[in-house]
Amino acid sequence: MALIRTVRGFTPQIAEDVFLADNATVVGDVVIGKGCSIWFNAVLRGDVNSIRIGEHTNIQDGSVLHTLYQKSTINIGNHVSIGHNVTIHGADVKDGALIGMGATVLDHAVVGEGAIVAAGALVLSNTIIEPGSLWGGVPAKFIKKVDPEQSKELNQKIANNYAMYASWYSEEEK
C-alpha cells in the first residue's frame, strides 16, 4: 500500500480513482486529480510547499517531485506524462506536455502546453518552454517546434496508455 502521510497539518487529497503503486510516496500538501496514476517508487513530497496535479496525468516510476520552502510550488496540468526517473523541482508543467525519462525540470521553469522535454534534458530554473516545442540537452535548449497534432497524438497516446496500464492493477485486485 502506498505511503500517504500528513505533514505540517497537510494531508494529501487524492481523487478516488487514482492508481497509487504499492510503494509510491505522497506526503503533505499534494492534490491529485481524477484518473491519475502514480507509479512505483515515485515520490511526491509536498512537505515544504504545494504540489497540484490535474486530471489523467501519469507520474512514472522513480520520479521525484519537490519544491523550495516558501519559494516554489509544482503545478502539473491535465493529460501530462512524467517519464521514468524524472525530477521536477518547483516547476509548472502545462496540459498535454511530456517530460522524457530522466529529465530534470528546476524551480520556476514553465513547460508549455503540448511541449516535449527530451529524455535526459536539464531544464534550468526560470526557463520558459513555449507551447508545442521540443527542448533537449544539458542544459536544455530549443530544438524545434513540433506539429501540434502530432504532439497531441503522441502525448495523449502515452497518457491513455498509462490509464490502461493502471486498470490492469485494479483488475488483479478483483
pLDDT of 152 reads 82
The helix (H) or strand (E) run that includes residue 28 is strand 25-32
Q: Which domains does the chain have, with CATH numbers?
A: 3-173 (2.160.10.10)
Proportion of the chain above pLDDT 90, given as a percent: 89
Under the banding of pLDDT at 50, 70 and 90, the label for residue 71 is very high
Calpha distance 80→111 (Å, rounded): 11
* Distance, CA of 7 to chain centre: 21
Confidence of residue 155 (pLDDT cuts 50, 70, 90): confident
CA dihedral 146, 57, 40, 29 (to 10 degrees): 120
- Name the least confident of 88-102, 108-122, 159-173: 159-173
